[in-house]
Amino acid sequence: MSDCLFCKIVAGDIPAEKLYEDDNVIAFSDINAQAPLHALVIPKKHIATINDLQADDAELIGRMYLAAKQIAADAGYAEQGYRTVMNCGESAGQTVFHIHLHVLAGRDLAWPPG
């Protein structure tokens, strides 16, 4: 998707602080971090929202969570805990329409979310 911000990060056209990469997934620091660790885990393949997921994306979603687990562990937050969030659609606060898993850690996180 030529006009997608996160596809441009995948392509290297927009710089990002990369935290993880494998064949299918990359993760980078959120530009507007909401916690000491705020990573975004994304598939290299463009998928706009959770609503666009297909059955054969199931493994990809699992790999995104494995990346989140590794990023949290590498940053030292495995035991303390961390939050993973994927917003779907405007009312949920999705602003970039390429799915991304937020990984937040390093402060107490309120529940329920706003």
* Residues noted as catalytic: 100
- Least distance to Zn ion from the beta carbon of 25, Å? 13
Find the binder of Zn ion among 16, 26, 28, 98 (CB under 5 A). Answer: 98
Rounded to whole angstroms, the Cα distance separating 79 from 26 reads: 23
Interface of this chain with ligand 5GP, residues 47 to 66, rule: CB under 6 A: none
Which residue, 13 or 22, has its beta carbon nearer to ligand 5GP?
Answer: 13
Which residue, 20 or 97, has its beta carbon nearer to Zn ion?
Answer: 97
Helices (H), 1-114: 5-11, 58-74
- Least distance to Zn ion from the beta carbon of 68, Å? 19
Question: 102, 30, 23: which is closest to 59 by C-alpha?
Answer: 23
Structure tokens at 76: 């030292």
- Least distance to ligand 5GP from the beta carbon of 79, Å? 25
Question: 36, 16, 37, 14: which is closest to 26 by C-alpha?
Answer: 16
